[in-house]
Amino acid sequence: MAVDFFAAQDKARSNTKLLVLLFSLAVFCLLVLTNVLLLVTLGFMEPEHYQLLLNPQHPDWLSHLPWSMMGWVSLAVFVVIAAVVSIKQVELSQGGQVVAKALGGSRLDHAVADAKQRQLLNVVEEMAIASGVPVPPVYLLPESSINAFAAGYSPADAVIGITQGSLNLLNRDELQGVIAHEFSHILNGDMRMNIRLIALLHGIEFIGHAGYFLLRSGSRRTAVVLSSSKSKDNGGGILGLALGLMVLGYLGTFFGSLIKAAVSRQREFLADASAVQFTRNPTGIAGALKAIGGAHSGSKVKNPNADEMSHLFFGEAISRWSSLFATHPPLKERIKRIDPSWAGIFPTEAELMRQSTAPSSEHQSTTNQHQQAGADIAATLLAALPPLLLHSSRHAASAPALCCACLVQPEHLAKQWNLIKSQGHAGLLQDVDKLYDEVSKLAPRQKLQLVQLAIPGLKQLSKQQFEDFQQLCQALSQTDGEEDLLEWTLLNWLQHCVGSQFDSMLLHKQDKASDLSAIKPAVLALLAVCAIQAEHQELQQQAWQAGLDKVGMDANTTKPVVNFEQLKQHLPELMHSTPQLKKQVWLMLKATVRADELVNEQEDMLLRALALLLEVPVSPDEFTH
C-alpha cells in the first residue's frame, strides 16, 4: 500500500501525547480557577485578603494565600476529574460497540437487511479483505444526515457506524469512499486516541455538570449550613458557587473543543487521501463530500451524545459558532484537495436521491492504470467463494459451523464428527456436514478469508456460547496431536477478535515495547518459524540470514527451535509493540520469506496469518508483485 500506515500510527501516538499535554494544561487551569471560585464564594479568606488576592504584585501576596485549603481543594478537584475519567474509560472498555450504541446505532445483520443495507455490508467486507483486518460489525444510526464513524481500540474490536441518510443519498461508489475513509482511521491508529479523547474531555467538562446539578438540587438548608460554617455574610455563596462552576464548565467545554480541534483536523486529510488509495476512485469520496454540501441535513447528527463524540465522524457532526473549534477541515477545502477541478456547486437533494440508485461507475486509475485497487481485488476474491459458504459466513447462526468445517480433516473425519456431535449444540453437526464438501475444495487462504467474514456473526455469540465453541475448535485442531498453520491461526484469531469482546484485557489499548532489544526472544522466535517454511534446509538458512540482516542482528545469532504453540506465548509482546517497531519486524518477515525470491503457499499463508494477529495492514496482492 502506498500509504505508510506504520508512520500514520506513529503520528497518532504523537497526537496522543499532545492530547495528554493539552488535557494536563486544561486541568491545571481549572484547578486554579476552581480555587479562586471557592475562596471568593464560600468565604475561605478574610475580607482584608480579597484586595490582596487581586494584587499579585504585593510583597505579602504569596504568604497570605490559604495554601493548605487550596491544596485540599486542588486534590479534591483532581481526584474527582480522575474518577470521572476512569469511570468513563471503564464504560468505554468494550470498545467500538459501546460508542455505536451510545449514538443510537442498531446492528445490521445480513439476514434481515434490505437491499441498500446489504450493499453497505458488502462494501465493508470488501474493504476488510482489501486491508487485511477483521470484518467489523456495522451499526446504522437513525439520522437523516450523511455521516459515518469508526470506533474501537484496535481493528479487533472496531465497528463502523453510518447514518440512514448516507444509505438514502449516496450511491455505491460514494458509500465505498466513505467506508474507505473510515477504514483508514482504523489502520492509521486514530481510533484509540479518539476513545481516550472522549474519556479525558468528559472529565474536564464534569465540573460544569456538577455546577448545573448543584444549582438545581441546592436547598436553603445546604446554603445555610455552608454559609454559617464558613462565612460571616455569605448567604448567596452556594448560588455563586453553582453559577461559578457552571461558568467553569463552559470553560471546560471551551478547552475540550480546542483540544479536539488541535488533534483531529489534519487526520481527515490523511484519511481522505487513504480512501482514494484504497479505491483508486477519487470521485467516490469527493461525491460523498459534495453530497454533504447539498443535503438538507448536511452531516449534522442530532443524537445528544454527538457533541462529545463529534471528532469520530466523517463530517462535522455538530454546528460550531466558530471554525476555530471545528474538528474537521472546511468541506470545500477537503473536496478541492481530491477534485481540484470542482466548480464549487453542490448537488440538490433531489439530484442526490436520483443518483443514489445509479449503477457504480467503471473507474480507471489515472495514476496507475495497470494496477487494480485493493477493494476491486477483494471483490474479485469474494466473488470466487462458493455462494453457500459466503452466505454462511455472513450469518450468526451458521458462522460457527463454517469455522468448524474449516478445521475438519478428511483423514480424521469420523473422530471429528463425533467431537462436533458430542461437544456442539443441537444441529451443529448437520450444519457442518452441509458445508464440509464445499469447504474441503478451498485453498487455506480462502478458508482464512471466510473466517475474516465470519467475525461479525461470531461476535453475536454469548460469552458461554463462545467459550463452548472455542473449546470445540481446540479439540478439533488437536485431533491429530498437533496444530497446523490454519488451525493455529484460526484459534488465535478467534481469541484475539472475538474473545476480546468478553475480556477487555485482550484488547490492544497501549503500546509497550519500542525497541527491538526489548522483545528480542519474541522476534527471533517469529523469525525462526518463518524461516523454516522454506522448502529445504539450505533455503531455510538463507531465509534466516536475510531476516537477521534486515534488522541488523549478528549473523551468528543462534536460531531457536520453535513451534507454533511456543510462538503463541510471544504474540502478546509482539502485538503490543509500537508502530515503528512493528514495521521493523514486518520488513524482517518479508525479507525472510522473499530470500529465495519466491513466496510459496505456506509462506504466503503464514505472513497473512501474522498480519492479522499483529494488526499489520496487508493488501490482497501484497506478495504477488
What is residue 250's predicted lDDT score, i.e. its pLDDT?
Answer: 74
**Grid cell in block for residue 322:** 466558530
Same domain, 394 and 491: yes
Same domain, 403 and 494: yes
Sheet of 148-151, strands arranged across: 106-107, 138-141, 159-163, 148-151
Domain count, the chain: 4
Largest separation between any pair of C-alpha atoms in the chain: 93
- Asked if 157 and 312 touch (Cβ cutoff 8 Å), the reply is no
Last residue of a domain, one of 459, 486, 506: 506
Same domain, 271 and 344: yes
What is residue 30's predicted lDDT score, i.e. its pLDDT?
Answer: 79
Same domain, 84 and 64: yes
pTM: 0.86
User: Is residue 496 a part of any domain in this protein?
Assistant: yes
User: Is residue 597 a part of any domain in this protein?
Assistant: yes
Torsions phi, psi of 169, nearest 5?
-115, -10
Same domain, 215 and 231: yes
- Asked if 529 and 562 touch (Cβ cutoff 8 Å), the reply is yes
What is residue 154's predicted lDDT score, i.e. its pLDDT?
Answer: 87
Q: Which CATH number covers residue 101?
A: 3.30.2010.10
Give pairs for 115-124: CB < 8 Å, separation 24+.
Answer: 116/167, 116/168, 117/167, 119/172, 119/175, 120/162, 120/167, 120/175, 120/179, 121/394, 122/382, 123/172, 123/175, 123/176, 123/179, 124/160, 124/179
User: Is residue 379 a part of any domain in this protein?
Assistant: no
CA distances from 46 to 39, 41, 233, 246, 458 (A): 10, 12, 11, 25, 66
User: Is residue 375 a part of any domain in this protein?
Assistant: no
Same domain, 288 and 147: yes
Same domain, 172 and 314: yes
Same domain, 290 and 415: no
Helices (H), 189-281: 190-217, 220-230, 237-279
User: Is residue 623 a part of any domain in this protein?
Assistant: no
Whole-number Å distance between alpha carbons of 485 and 534 = 14
Q: Of the listed 125, 182, 487, 603, which one is catalytic?
A: 182
- Asked if 128 and 164 touch (Cβ cutoff 8 Å), the reply is no
Whole-number Å distance between alpha carbons of 280 and 287 = 14
User: Is residue 178 a part of any domain in this protein?
Assistant: yes
Residue 139 gets which letter from DSSP?
Answer: E
Give the DSSP H/E element, type plus range, for residue 107: strand 106-107
User: Is residue 373 a part of any domain in this protein?
Assistant: no
What is residue 236's predicted lDDT score, i.e. its pLDDT?
Answer: 54
Last residue of a domain, one of 234, 259, 284: 259
Same domain, 287 and 248: no
Catalytic residue status for 182: yes
The rounded average pLDDT for each run of 10 residues, N- to C-terminus, in the chain (625 residues) is: 60 68 81 76 62 67 72 84 88 88 94 93 93 92 96 91 96 94 88 85 76 58 46 54 72 78 80 86 94 94 91 89 80 93 91 78 44 76 93 93 94 92 88 94 92 93 93 92 86 90 78 85 93 85 93 91 87 87 90 86 87 85 67
Domain that holds residue 245: 5-95+194-259
Same domain, 321 and 229: no
Q: Got the DSSP string for 84-103?
A: HHHHHHHHTTTTHHHHHHHT
User: Is residue 366 a part of any domain in this protein?
Assistant: no
Same domain, 542 and 403: no
Q: Which SS3 state, helix, strand or coil, does residue 160 take?
A: strand
What is residue 612's predicted lDDT score, i.e. its pLDDT?
Answer: 87
Last residue of a domain, one of 506, 529, 552: 506
Same domain, 464 and 533: no
